[in-house]
Amino acid sequence: MKTNILYRFFLPIIALILGFNFTLQSLEAQTEAKDKLRDHVKFLSSDQLKGRFPGTPEMKLAEEYIENQFRSSGLKMFKDSYKQGLNVVIGKELGDSNIVIVETTIIRPGIPKERLPRVAQPWTVGQDFMPLAYSQNSRVKAEVAFVGFGISAPNLNYDDYAGIDVTGKIVVLLNETPDGEKPETEFNSFRSLRYKLSNAKSKGAIGVIMVRIQGDSMNVFERLNFENIGSEAGIVAVQAWRQTLSKLFTKEHPLQLLENTIMKNKKPMSMHLPNTEVTLQTDLKDTKAPTHNIVGYVKGTDAKLADQYVVIGAHYDHLGYGGPTSQYRGKRQMIHNGADDNASGVAGLIELAHYFAANPPRRSLIFAAFTAEETGLNGSRYFTQNSFVGMENIVGMVNLDMIGRLRADELTVFGTATSPSFASVIDSLEPINKFKLIRASDAYGPSDHASFYSNDKPVMMFFTGLHEDYHKPSDTWNKLNYEGTALVVDFIRQFTQSIADYPAHLEFTAVTTVSNSHQPKRESGYADVWFGIIPDFEESPLGCKIGGASPGSPADKAGLLKNDIITEIEGTSIKNLHDFMYKIREFKAGDVLKVKILRGEEKAEMMFDVTLTAKK
């Protein structure tokens, strides 16, 4: 009796002590996981690595770090190396034939126009002008028109091309917007030079001369950066030295006065520049550099499933000192450290590699740190085209991209509808985790999982959301939520374990809906209508190549197929994904577009009617 009383008395105390000890162990494990993730991020996003741009010595430091982590984890190598080499375009360089010649007609009363003398003034490359990095290599000669900021925004009651015909002309336009360099403005989605070149081309212009607005950087030339989606704009384009270009304008309408008046009144002042013809010729060559995917694997334990592979991936490159997709508006060049984008994902990848190397699941796992994601998914696309195990043996892909800024416990998961197995797995995990899951069925966003989805593989991307430091120098290691990141990585571990041990085959399902409200947009200017193509980020010189059409979408109903190349929409030439996006946003739901495509090996020309619908 006394023994039972003592047992009942001490049992709660013993349980409390054991529970306290378990809690301590759990807290210690959480602290250790958090510290390891922070250490990885802190190194990968340090100034020492200068933004991890492919082809740089600093990128090699990142490669070595990840390779050493894979080696210490015990991951196996393919072909006696963790490195999968490829060459990527990282910029442009000048060729031998970059030319601008300004021909001015000298007006003399009483002399017929055809007999008037003409004065030719050549410009010096690097001093008077520089080609823009996405200029088409070609030669054009034409009369010149000034078109303000080169913006057509009917919804803002502003159109620099209203009332002026620039067909067959070379246009001069200003960078920025009628609000100048103001970072937040109603003209934001019309700011990019990509848009302005596409718009000029759609208006019939054959060449563009861009000049910077007045300010400290008005005579700073754009660097020859490689644009990440579609390197060539389909039109000849240069930037001019402001003082040199000003000589094309008349005394009655000097450049400075036109610019000031437009910005003051928010009204266009476009006009032809009289008695002037300009010859533009650009000659740019790709600058290529070697870089590497870092790849290792864990062999599965089930003899029947071990030849099936799940890929866990995260891109480890970033923007270096910025470039076309930078959101930084400062004038001083700064390192873009890329702590959340995507040192956070790589840190998670490394820790998952350590865990699964010691605890292999039934299916085999491939761990891949992809290079050159920011320049167009180059690393992951190369991997799918040169898979070590054959794409037929890859049954799914898990992507970690920007997982370091967990807020309000919200975790977005993309690709939930790409396999019927995924929803049940997520359902089973959600109750035992603290997250408010935002489920997005679509799987063709601008990250590495898109390379696998376009190859009919189920994919899942984990993402903690955009923030004000995205693609800015301020995306630094000290702003991450490491406790939250550790929880996210553990959730990804549970998901990966579940699908790697899943007894049935992981079936692929093409996505039938688009979750636009949660799509991780990477630039402004998206349309308010749904066309429904799946982008293919591999450039085609013939037009905008597509990875397919979302089932049930306007493109699908019209009959567009994977690998079709869109060359025209409503008579406007389409050279790349930028042209496509900027053209589509001119229309509204219900509009029927004439779309010309090239199809098949023979590049057969075909025409389709696509009826746009509202975004869902």
What is the pLDDT, as a whole number, of residue 2? 44
C-alpha 309/C-alpha 366 separation (Å) is: 7
pLDDT digits (tens, 9 = 90+) for 296-312: 999 999 999 999 999 99
**Residue 449 CA neighbour count, 13 Å, CB half:** 25
Find the mean pLDDT for residues 98-109. Answer: 87
C-alpha 471/C-alpha 401 separation (Å) is: 13
- Per the prediction, the chain carries an average pLDDT of 89
Q: Which of 14-23, 363-372, 561-570, 606-615 has the lowest mean pLDDT?
A: 14-23
Q: What domains does the chain contain, in order, with CATH numbers?
A: 20-89+289-500 (3.40.630.10), 97-282 (3.50.30.30), 525-614 (2.30.42.10)
C-alpha 51/C-alpha 499 separation (Å) is: 34
**Residue 460 CA neighbour count, 13 Å, CB half:** 29
Band the pLDDT of 521: cuts 50, 70, 90: very low
Degrees (nearest 5) of the Cα angle 8, 9, 10?
100
C-alpha 501/C-alpha 550 separation (Å) is: 29
**Radius of gyration over every alpha carbon of the chain, rounded to an integer in angstroms:** 28
Q: Which helix (H) or strand (E) holds 61?
A: helix 57-73
With a CB cutoff of 8 Å and minimum separation 6, the contacts of 511 are: 415, 417, 418, 441, 442, 443, 444, 550, 551
Q: Which of 38-52, 337-351, 555-569, 572-586 has the lowest mean pLDDT?
A: 572-586
C-alpha 418/C-alpha 396 separation (Å) is: 10
C-alpha 543/C-alpha 576 separation (Å) is: 5
Task: State the pTM of this model.
Answer: 0.82
Polymer length of the chain: 616
Band the pLDDT of 111: cuts 50, 70, 90: confident
What is the pLDDT, as a whole number, of residue 24? 42
Find the mean pLDDT for residues 107-135. Answer: 86
Task: With a cut of 70, say whether residue 516 has pLDDT above it.
Answer: no
C-alpha 492/C-alpha 351 separation (Å) is: 11
Taking a C-beta distance cutoff of 8 angstroms, is the pair 569, 584 a contact? yes
Q: 223: buried, middle or exposed (CB in 10 Å: 19+, 13-18, 0-12)? A: middle
Task: With a cut of 60, say whether residue 273 has pLDDT above it.
Answer: yes
What is the pLDDT, as a whole number, of residue 474? 97
Taking a C-beta distance cutoff of 8 angstroms, is the pair 488, 407 a contact? no
Q: 100: buried, middle or exposed (CB in 10 Å: 19+, 13-18, 0-12)? A: buried
Residue reference for tokens 């959600």: 430
Q: Which helix (H) or strand (E) holds 20?
A: helix 2-44
Find the mean pLDDT for residues 326-346. Answer: 92
C-alpha 399/C-alpha 459 separation (Å) is: 8
Q: Which helix (H) or strand (E) holds 198?
A: helix 193-202
Degrees (nearest 5) of the Cα angle 284, 285, 289?
140
CA 349 to chain centre: 21
Residue reference for tokens 């082809």: 55
